[in-house]
Amino acid sequence: MDRPFVITLDGPAGVGKSTLAKRLAAELGIAYLDTGAMYRTLGLALGADAADLPEEELRRRCSSFVFSLERGDGEAWLLCCGGKPVGGEIRTERAGRLASIVARLPVLRSELQKAQQSLGRGFSLVAEGRDMGTKVFPGALRKFFLDARPEVRAERRLKELLARGESADFETVLNDIRARDEQDRGRAVDPLRPAPDAVLVDTSDLDLDGVLRVLLNSVHAAFGRDGLHSSSDAGFTHLAEDGSLRMVDVGDKLETRRVARARAVVEMSASTLDLLRRDALPKGDVLSVAKVAGIMAAKRTWELIPLCHPLNVNHVDIRFDIRDEPPSVVLESEVRVSGRTGVEMEAIMAAQVAAATIYDMAKAVQKDMIIRDVRLIYKSGGKSGDFRAE
């Protein structure tokens, strides 16, 4: 889809919004906006006394915080303030309480809401907060309101705090969650409540994967509803109705981020391995050539495997591990794409062709090298979920 779209995730403290929003954004290959982090940043910087500032002064101070979304290492998106990623100091319970206090101030809210809307114009987003569906992105493609019993949320929050090495007890966390609920749901401006057109998801008895499946299915349906993609999902099979072979029409599938890794092993004699290591084989730098060959193979997989779709891969890499026992080169390919089909075949072809290239580059000194154990070792993304070889 070409124009930016927004998916909103609202709900009370401790419901698991952040983790889910991050995972949903990663599945869809779009950015993730944590608006709570914006309130936390201002809460910490301005303190509870911000409520006593004259309106104009508060507006002036708010406008000095410039938020942006930047690509971090790998595929993650980082929320930045003044060009720097917001730090771990906003993740404390104190910062959460201060955020909830300053979030009652209309001037501060309207400044942050403008900043959030402007980010939504630049990128497709999963936006997470309290008023995303009701106020900030009323035209979102899909709105979710997540909820769970306070005791369940307190239990989850407690686990999170203990895992971070913080000391906490259940009663205190539960009281905190109840106080935050009261403050967020009861405030005069933009109180926490579901948008009339939000999908309500009670996560009390679901694990994260279960909730993520519900969200993804609903997003798939929304894409269909808006005519962006048709929702007809009928039987992705390689057989046509008359039993003949066909290439699956993936036009209805949602574009998601997909990664696949494959492995192959080239066994050789110790003396061949020694020559390879010293770059002394007659055809030259074996591993560099094998790497280029693997990358090219990934890009051309659709020409070789009959029912594969042409894909614009985002990234291909081949890593080599030279082992003495038994003498061998173990190579691993990784292919990434934002697309409608997986890249398992691209990864497997990359590993096989890189392995065959090693054979070709070294066959002058040894003909009985063995290429073996070609296999998929990992894949993520797409409807069938993640796979990791034992």
Extract long-range pairs of 206-209: CB within 8 Å, 24+ residues apart. 208/16, 208/19, 208/20, 208/23
Q: Note whether 100 binds ligand DC by CB under 6 A.
A: yes
Which residue number, 186 or 284, has a Cβ lying nearer to ligand DC? Answer: 186
Name the one range near ligand DC by CB under 6 A: 128-136, 154-162, 193-201, 316-324.
Answer: 128-136
Alpha carbon distance 66, 119 (integer Å): 11
In the complex, what is the shortest distance from the CB of residue 128 to ligand DC, in angstroms, rounded to a whole number? 7
Does 96 engage in binding with ligand DC (CB under 6 A)? yes
Distance CA 355, CA 312 (A): 23
Task: With CA atoms as reference, report the closest residue to 386 among 8, 26, 21.
Answer: 26
Residue written as tokens 């995972």?
23
Please select the residue that binds ligand DC; options are 29, 120, 129, 294, rule is CB under 6 A: 129
Q: Where are the beta strands (DSSP E) in the chain?
A: 6-10, 31-34, 67-71, 77-81, 84-85, 125-129, 142-147, 199-202, 256-267, 315-323, 328-339, 370-380, 387-388
> Which of 6, 9, 13, 351 is the binder for ligand DC (CB under 6 A)?
13
- Using Cβ positions, the residue closest to ligand DC within the complex turns out to be 36
What lies within 8 Å, CB to CB, of 191 at 6+ separation is: 184, 185
Give the residue, chosen from 8, 31, 35, 287, that forms a contact with ligand DC under the rule CB under 6 A. 35
Q: How far is the CB of 129 from ligand DC (least distance, A)?
A: 2
5 binds ligand DC (CB under 6 A): no
Outline where DSSP puts E strands in 106-173.
Answer: 125-129, 142-147
By CB under 6 A, name the one of 50, 86, 108, 130 that touches ligand DC: 130
Measured CA distances, 15 to 150, 161, 194, 223 (Å): 9, 14, 14, 26
Residue found under tokens 């290959």: 29
156 binds ligand DC per the rule CB under 6 A: no
Q: Does 212 bind ligand DC (CB under 6 A)?
A: no
103 interacts with ligand DC by CB under 6 A = yes
Interface region with ligand DC, contact rule CB under 6 A, candidates 95-103, 157-165, 267-275, 357-365: 95-103
Strands (E), 313-383: 315-323, 328-339, 370-380
- Measured distance CA(84)–CA(70) in Å, rounded: 9
Residue 287: closest CA among 300, 275, 271: 275
Q: Which is nearer to ligand DC, 200 or 389 (CB)?
A: 200
Does residue 41 touch ligand DC according to CB under 6 A?
Answer: no
The answer to whether residue 339 forms part of the interface with ligand DC (CB under 6 A) is no
Give CA–CA dist 14/185, Å, rounded: 14
Under rule CB under 6 A, residue 291 binds ligand DC: no
Cis amide leading into 326 (omega within 30): yes
CB of 18 or CB of 231, closer to ligand DC: 18
Tell me how many residues contact ligand DC (CB under 6 A). 14
Instruction: From 123-131, 165-173, 194-202, 314-322, give the range in contact with ligand DC by CB under 6 A.
Output: 123-131
* 337 contacts ligand DC (rule: CB under 6 A): no
The helix/strand count (H/E) of the chain reads as 12, 13
Stretch that binds ligand DC, among 35-43, 152-160, 249-257, 349-357 (CB under 6 A): 35-43
Whose Cβ is closer to ligand DC: residue 120's or residue 381's?
A: 120
User: Which span sits near ligand DC by CB under 6 A: 31-39, 51-59, 240-248, 321-329?
Assistant: 31-39
Nearer to ligand DC, 181 or 252 (CB): 181
| CB-based burial label for 48 (10 Å; 0-12, 13-18, 19+) | exposed
The residue from 111, 147, 184, 255 that contacts ligand DC (CB under 6 A) is 184
Taking CB under 6 A as the rule, does residue 176 contact ligand DC?
A: no
Q: Which two tokens stand for residue 288?
A: 């560099």
Binding residues (CB under 6 A) for ligand DC: these are: 13, 35-36, 39-40, 96, 99-100, 103, 129-131, 180, 184
